[in-house]
Structure 1
């Protein structure tokens, strides 16, 4: 996916941006801010403040290698509906890349802890308002490993499933097999990170992230198969109500990918929504289409608005 420039600036929380203090916002705003992760690493975030007093807050957890500005239109729609929304980049991506990518450490569990940092600040600023977690692809996989995820009132996953390559949708399956078996190992060894942009595959990713993701994607039970019973118990411990939204024309996730991943969430009430584009009068949605600006009427108003706190 093409990289989107990120505006790097640290801004204080504006005086009018108060979620639970009884004062309305003066105007809808977007503020970019660097947050410090638990180890001091700086994470690029964007905060979308509604025009009036917020009635809820939303964490937007991104897909693999997708920069946060991809979700800008959706976050603005949320703010227009009265929700404090935050987007962010995982370390090594977009506004959370500092220096050379080969020098960025950590793995997917590090990304989960980084997500916990963002969620913690969102909770502070929401001041008791209900929080909705909306995770795109990877953003719906990492939930159980994110500190504080239990404070969300609802989890919504978009185009989320396992990454096991033999279960991938047909357009991706053969390419994924080649990627994991023949391409990733030599590129990681040669570059010290995964140079996906150069080869038009996934995107640039830190070494530890790509190495771990590859291992997950080569097991039929994905991360649970690799990380073992501890990971299975993490999924089972999630009790927040969950809604999965997936699409029949997703070029990456098959229905099997989606069903297997969400079957790990055994401790909560799950609602599985699977749509064909024709169900909502669209020619195409795919893995990335949900968050495009022109989906507001067909998808956001129809599917997400009823799930948000009234």
Structure 2
């Protein structure tokens, strides 16, 4: 594994890690992380996937994980979800430059499958494997979450963010610590029936509509946060991309549980991970997309 710091066009410093395969690579995989989840979480899977012949890159969005300089307070971080999309875009550009003739796939976990619709270099993407991702619109949340999310968005988030200058999710055991701009923009998205497209309007709708890479979305039927309806809503934002939604039940794989986070936990090396590698290989470049 190699760690390096990438400077984005707007001057942010992003720490990324790359795992090289033992032989000639099948192609690039960029893993886009979930909200509040650092790239450390994906390291076991990234290492395993590299062993299967892929060049794999993980990263932390600005202001989070290794991309937040030691000693920097989250109060000082000026970032929103558009900035995080720019970070994602810069990592895609960096990975593509390393293997310009090879396909580049995005493996997006939750938020990591929502942001690709905002990328300005979608022509460099050969496909998106979406894992446990959906629209964050609150009425499409899983039933247990929906019972408490009204309080979360209308009371806890505004109050805590105003008090601390960022969202102290770790202290509250909710999501994770997030910059003020990220949590408040995400709140706006989650309160809109059309999620990011509805909250941000026509320019963002066009960005999603520009995506032509194939999308395969995996929906876990024991996901404690996302529903199948929410997954279909998210995939629908990629209105011009060839897409499929597959529902996965843990029992079908002889697993007790997968949930929202379980797909990347160590222990899946012989069960779910080989299937995910197979699904990546099945994301053939769409006509007209760059390799």
Tell me the TM-score normalized by structure 1.
0.88
Q: Report the Cα offset of residue 224 of structure 1.
A: 1.2
SS at match of 1:197: helix
Q: Report the Cα offset of residue 41 of structure 1.
A: 1.6
For the Cα contact (< 8 Å) 2:21–2:50, is it kept in 1?
yes
Q: Determine the structure 2 residue equivalent to 1:104.
A: 77
| Cα deviations by residue, 1:112-133 (Å, 9 ceiling, x for unpaired) | 0011111111011113111111
2:56 paired with 1:85? yes
| Separation (CA, whole Å) in 1 of partners of 2:280 and 2:75 | 40
- Match of residue 113, structure 2, among 124, 140, 155: 140
Q: Determine the structure 2 residue equivalent to 1:237.
A: 210
| Separation (CA, whole Å) in 2 of partners of 1:150 and 1:65 | 27
- Structure scoring higher RCO (CA < 8 A, sep ≥ 6) equals 2
- Match of residue 138, structure 2, among 149, 157, 165: 165
Q: Determine the structure 1 residue equivalent to 2:265.
A: 292
| Separation (CA, whole Å) in 1 of partners of 2:67 and 2:275 | 33
2:21 paired with 1:50? yes
For the aligned residue pairs, the C-alpha RMSD in angstroms reads: 1.3
Q: Report the Cα offset of residue 236 of structure 1.
A: 1.5
Listed as ranges, the matches of 1:202-217 within 5 Å are: 202-217=175-190
Q: Report the Cα offset of residue 176 of structure 1.
A: 1.5
SS at match of 1:105: coil
| Cα deviations by residue, 1:25-44 (Å, 9 ceiling, x for unpaired) | xxxxx011111111222111
Aligned structure 1 segments of 4 or more residues deviating by more than 4 angstroms: none
Moved more, 134-143 or 296-305: 296-305
2:277 paired with 1:304? yes
Q: Determine the structure 1 residue equivalent to 2:237.
A: 264
SS at match of 1:76: helix
Q: Report the Cα offset of residue 259 of structure 1.
A: 1.0
Q: Report the Cα offset of residue 219 of structure 1.
A: 1.2
Q: Determine the structure 2 residue equivalent to 1:279.
A: 252
| Separation (CA, whole Å) in 2 of partners of 1:165 and 1:304 | 31
Structure 1 unpaired stretches of 5+ = 1-29
| Separation (CA, whole Å) in 2 of partners of 1:74 and 1:126 | 21
SS at match of 2:146: helix
Q: Determine the structure 1 residue equivalent to 2:288.
A: none
Q: Determine the structure 1 residue equivalent to 2:12.
A: 41
For the Cα contact (< 8 Å) 1:89–1:95, is it kept in 2?
yes
Q: Report the Cα offset of residue 142 of structure 1.
A: 0.6
| Separation (CA, whole Å) in 2 of partners of 1:228 and 1:39 | 24
| Cα deviations by residue, 1:273-305 (Å, 9 ceiling, x for unpaired) | 111111111110000000111112221212332
| Separation (CA, whole Å) in 2 of partners of 1:247 and 1:304 | 17
For the Cα contact (< 8 Å) 1:132–1:308, is it kept in 2?
no
Q: Determine the structure 2 residue equivalent to 1:8.
A: none
| Separation (CA, whole Å) in 2 of partners of 1:253 and 1:132 | 23
For the Cα contact (< 8 Å) 1:242–1:269, is it kept in 2?
yes
SS at match of 1:294: coil
SS at match of 2:268: helix
- Match of residue 116, structure 1, among 68, 89, 97: 89
For the Cα contact (< 8 Å) 2:7–2:14, is it kept in 1?
yes
Q: Report the Cα offset of residue 150 of structure 1.
A: 2.2
Count the aligned residue pairs.
Answer: 281
2:170 paired with 1:197? yes
For the Cα contact (< 8 Å) 2:49–2:277, is it kept in 1?
no
